[in-house]
Amino acid sequence: MKTQQKVWLVTGVSGGLGKELAKSIYLSGDIIIGTMRSEKDKMLFEQDFPQRSKAFILDLSDTGKIPVVVEESVKIFGKIDVLVNNAGYGLFGMVEEASEEEVRHQLEVNFLAVWKLTQAVLPIMRQQKSGHIIQLSSRVGISAGVGGGLYAAGKFAIEGLSEALAQEVSAFGIKVTLVEPGPLRTDFFGRSVVFAQKEITDYHAATGNIRERSKQMDGKQPGDPAKVASSILEISRLENPPFRLPFTQATLDTLQQKIISYQQVIDDWKEIAVQVQY
């Protein structure tokens, strides 16, 4: 193994952005460790990346297996330079529609597994005095919309976790980047989205049918996942990578709207906010 080669651990490489990222990493000459959920996907990964690679079947809801994947990866390659917490799925539906079981599973996969993987690689990166943790957030990690509150809850949690983490690990030479894509033209709305089983039709007239709206959006998303993957690879080479990396005009618009909204809150409620101080 060449010393300049980076070792990447990327979750969810069987489709979408994860698959494009695995391609970019492999073509760059780096080592790609990928996780997927099925034997079929593992076989395809091994066919596509026959060298400088390792595949692990991992169900992220089974967080007990996460340290094993990290330990095995280090045994094989000696280090982990970049962790990309990419895998996840979207649970969509009105807040009233979701069941506790649906919400718990969503948070186990989209947040608890991210925390567990991050926690598992940190001792390795601290010992190396280097590393880069790249967290896949979303435009909805900045601002939530109708029907997306359950998905946004996990992404908001990742944003908060990562803001603290970046400050905690900077002294050890470890970098953290939050990737915030808008709609990418992947199979997200095909294989990676589930809707709350319960559907309350009263909401259709008030807010529209989010299930139908999602179908109409599928295949028309403006973001190119291959270009996002290339950009992630590029910023991983930087000495000082960005903490926050938005993708697509939709995310930039969301950031701008959030700034305006917060400024309006300050302007409207500053007097009340400060009058409660001793």
Residues 1-55 have pLDDT tens digits of: 344 899 999 999 998 899 999 999 999 999 999 999 999 999 999 999 999 999 9
The per-residue pLDDT for 33 is 98
Catalytic-labelled residue, pool 24, 73, 137, 236: 137
Catalytic-labelled residue, pool 155, 162, 175, 236: 155
Fold of 7-249: Rossmann fold (3.40.50)
Alpha-carbon 211 to chain mean position: 23
Retrieve residue 19's tokens: 């698959």
Catalytic-labelled residue, pool 24, 53, 73, 151: 151
The per-residue pLDDT for 210 is 76
The per-residue pLDDT for 219 is 60
Q: One-letter amino acid identity for 264?
A: Q
DSSP at 255: H
User: Beta strands 131-136 and 31-36: pairing type?
Assistant: unpaired
Round to whole Å and give the CA distance between 146 and 75. Answer: 45
The per-residue pLDDT for 216 is 66
Alpha-carbon 264 to chain mean position: 30
Neighbour tally for 70: CB within 10 Å: 23
CA torsion through residues 226, 49, 6, 9, sign:
positive
Round to whole Å and give the CA distance between 266 and 219. Answer: 39
Round to whole Å and give the CA distance between 21 and 1. Answer: 21
Q: pLDDT above 70 covers what percent of the chain?
A: 94
Residue by residue, pLDDT tens for the chain (278 residues) are: 344 899 999 999 998 899 999 999 999 999 999 999 999 999 999 999 999 999 999 999 999 999 999 999 999 999 999 999 999 888 999 999 999 999 999 999 999 999 999 999 999 999 999 999 999 999 999 999 999 999 999 999 999 999 999 999 999 999 999 999 987 776 665 666 889 999 999 998 888 887 777 766 666 676 789 999 999 999 999 999 999 999 999 999 999 999 999 999 999 999 999 999 99
- Is residue 89 annotated as part of the catalytic site, yes or no? no
Retrieve residue 35's tokens: 């996780």
Burial 191-211 (b: 16+ CB within 10 A, else e): eebebbeeeeeebeeeeeebe
Round to whole Å and give the CA distance between 243 and 54. Answer: 28
Measured at the CA of 38, the angle between CA 37 and CA 43, to 5 degrees, comes to 120
Give the domain ranges of the chain: 7-249
Round to whole Å and give the CA distance between 161 and 171. Answer: 17
Measured at the CA of 173, the angle between CA 167 and CA 179, to 5 degrees, comes to 60
- Is residue 278 annotated as part of the catalytic site, yes or no? no
Residues 63-85 have pLDDT tens digits of: 999 999 999 999 999 999 999 99
The per-residue pLDDT for 207 is 84
The per-residue pLDDT for 2 is 41
